[in-house]
Amino acid sequence: MAEEIKYTEDNIRTIEGIDIIRLRPGMYIGRLGNGSNQDDGIYVLLKETIDNSVDEFTMGYGKVIDITIEDRTVTVRDFGRGIPLGKVVDATSKLNTGGKYDNKAFQKSVGLNGVGSKAVNALSEDYYVESFRDGQSAFAHYSKGVLIDSGQRPTREKNGTLVKYTADPEMFENYSYKMEYVEPMIRNYAYLKKGLTLKLNGISYKSENGLLDLINDSMPESPLYPPIHLEGEDIEIVLTHGNSYGENILSFVNGQNTRDGGTHLAAFREAIAKTLKEFYKKDYAPEDIRQGIIGAVSIQIQEPKFESQTKIKLGSTYMWETSVKNEDGSTTVDRGPTIRSFINDFVKTNLDNYLHIHKEIVPAIQDKIISSEKERKEISGIQKKTRERNKRSSIYNKKLKDCRIHYTDKLPKNRQEETELTSIFITEGDSASGTISKVRNADFQAVFSLKGKPMNCYKDSRKKMVENEELNLLISALGIEEDMADLRYNNIIVATDADDDGMHIRLLVLTFFLKYYPDLIRRGHVHILQTPLFRVRNKKNVRYCYSPDEKEKAMKDLSKGVEVTRFKGLGEISPDEFVNFIGDDMRLDTVKLSDEESISELLEFYMGKNTIDRQRFIRQNLRSEKELEDVNI
């Protein structure tokens, strides 16, 4: 009989101060990670630190922010007002403490929960902050959130705040900063805060034209007409059209890059469609108006509410919302206009005026809409016929093994949590799909099975693409026939064998997404599943290795009686083993596409003519099957 576990007063614990952040870091920064993903915690800590300095600039103090990243140590120095000297320790170590609860001091900042600097402090092995105000300074030095030293002293430094920290390797294992994630973050700050200079490791970033500079600098293709740039109080927008598929609209709130959009992006998309329909006096479909659109929207609101601590999706409904206590003790909620009405009114008035003044671009926009409409109607008819044919043959049910979240009401009702958990594995053949289907978490993980190699979308027209049975069914499974917003899975995971055929299938699937649904990649929905190439074991231990180098190390560590197995296909891995590779510790490589990358150039390089440059790239970056097999097996 199991020993009885007693539940007494001793089991009740109170977590003091910021210790709770170290105990539950995911509640405050989303994920930990090692820096290989742009959403990893070290970038959240960096952004939280810079946000405080940017908020000073927004309030009119300090025009320069110096940022250095040397190895694992980050230093941020601004020239704002500086933290009030008597509150330096409180502001960096006590939860729910900060100047941003006072709307007079910080009216439109990003972080209003009093957590940011405390999270950086708690999750750093070394954290130092010093505030300079009018010839005096106050400093505090911590290790893992524990105060080591503090005090005040005279100084000749200019007013402002200095923060220097090293993220704790116990929390962020084997981490390193990737400038490919840091530099765009710094550039975006400059675009969104005209007049602010940010220096990253000595390189200055500054913008004179705001979002217009952002779009011009990152334009992935030649626009059909010069970008429209409109500014108003608390709002700035830019838009134009190109010939690529999908929508490429960046969105920001108070300087925060909301990669997953939110209420402001939805309102902007709606406002563009509505305004252009009324301007042309034609009942154009919204998807035709927005096809190929390139743009950005930035708004400033008070006390923004985000759907997660990482702040990449806006959940606020109103431009501002405050609670006022009445004399009788009751509470009245005072609200500003809705974000939807605010953006709709601005776009309707200003975009309409712009088009009446700049009549030379009016035909270019209309021609693009008519062209998109013509193609959509042609494609829609083909898709409908293909869908009906597939339903009659019941092939859809054979291709997709869906997850329960989409057809049961017995699962949790936290929609945001559910959406983030959903995944679909795109596999090749019955063997691989059968293995994954047996061991997946059927509540949240779906499996879609490809039959052989899909068509090369780069070489064929969109008409041929939708006539293709495999890809038509995939589009239907993803739920994106009408609108990207209807995407049924947060993670689209390409799971192919690690051989030549598997790599080719992977490339063909990515070509499909790149050409017709690039937003899925831009928003970080598409991933590559990493499965082990080798199993190294002896009588006592088993190691799964994802590269020849890992295999070599495992062979040395396990030493005697080692047996090495090379996995050439997912179907070769038994379900009992495979369950280890698609759980919480699943290794995923996110497919990345920066806003300035040209999709047409990428596809031409990888899927076009067999050029010398591509041959050279393949020779430098890929290892053949024989090379893998010959590495001391």
The count of residues in the chain is: 633
Q: What is the largest CA-CA distance in the chain?
A: 85
pLDDT tier at 97 (50, 70, 90 boundaries)?
Answer: low
263 within 8 A of 340, measured Cβ to Cβ: yes
pLDDT for 456 equals 84
Query: Whole-model pTM?
Result: 0.74
Burial of 234 (0-12, 13-18, 19+ CB in 10 A): middle
- How far is residue 30's CA from residue 484's CA, in Å, rounded to a whole number? 24
CA angle 465, 468, 471 (to 5 degrees): 80
pLDDT for 574 equals 81
pLDDT for 459 equals 76
164 within 8 A of 132, measured Cβ to Cβ: no
**In which region does residue 556 sit, left (phi positive, over 0), alpha (psi from -120 to 50) or beta (all else)?**
alpha
pLDDT for 237 equals 96
pLDDT in tens, 455-514: 888 877 788 888 888 888 888 889 887 777 788 898 999 988 777 778 888 888 998 998
pLDDT for 581 equals 85
pLDDT in tens, 20-52: 788 877 777 778 888 888 888 999 899 989 988
286 token code pair:
């919204």
Does pLDDT of 413 surpass 70? Answer: no
Q: Which residue has 């995939």 as its token pair?
A: 474
Name residue 407's amino acid. Answer: Y
97 token code pair:
């403490």
Work out the mean pLDDT of the chain and round it to a whole number: 83
- How far is residue 290's CA from residue 478's CA, in Å, rounded to a whole number? 20
Task: Check residue 262 and report its DSSP letter.
Answer: B
If one counts every other C-beta atom within 10 angstroms of the C-beta of residue 43, the result is 20
pLDDT for 96 equals 54
pLDDT in tens, 346-371: 999 999 999 999 999 999 999 999 99
pLDDT tier at 92 (50, 70, 90 boundaries)?
Answer: confident
**Domain covering 19-205 in this structure, CATH number:** 3.30.565.10
127 token code pair:
């954290």
Instruction: Give the pLDDT mean for 404-410.
Output: 68
Tell me the domain boundaries of the chain. 19-205, 211-373, 393-531+569-629, 532-566
pLDDT in tens, 70-89: 989 999 999 999 999 988 98
112 within 8 A of 100, measured Cβ to Cβ: yes
Class of the domain covering 211-373:
alpha beta
205 within 8 A of 65, measured Cβ to Cβ: no
pLDDT tier at 433 (50, 70, 90 boundaries)?
Answer: confident
If one counts every other C-beta atom within 10 angstroms of the C-beta of residue 210, the result is 20
- Which of these, 140, 128, 126, 129, lies nearest to 168 by C-alpha position? 126
- Which of these, 295, 285, 290, 297, lies nearest to 365 by C-alpha position? 290
Strands 124-133 and 160-167: antiparallel
Q: Which fold has domain 393-531+569-629?
A: Rossmann fold (3.40.50)
pLDDT in tens, 553-582: 999 988 888 999 888 777 678 888 888 888
pLDDT tier at 199 (50, 70, 90 boundaries)?
Answer: very high
170 token code pair:
């116990």
pLDDT tier at 284 (50, 70, 90 boundaries)?
Answer: very high
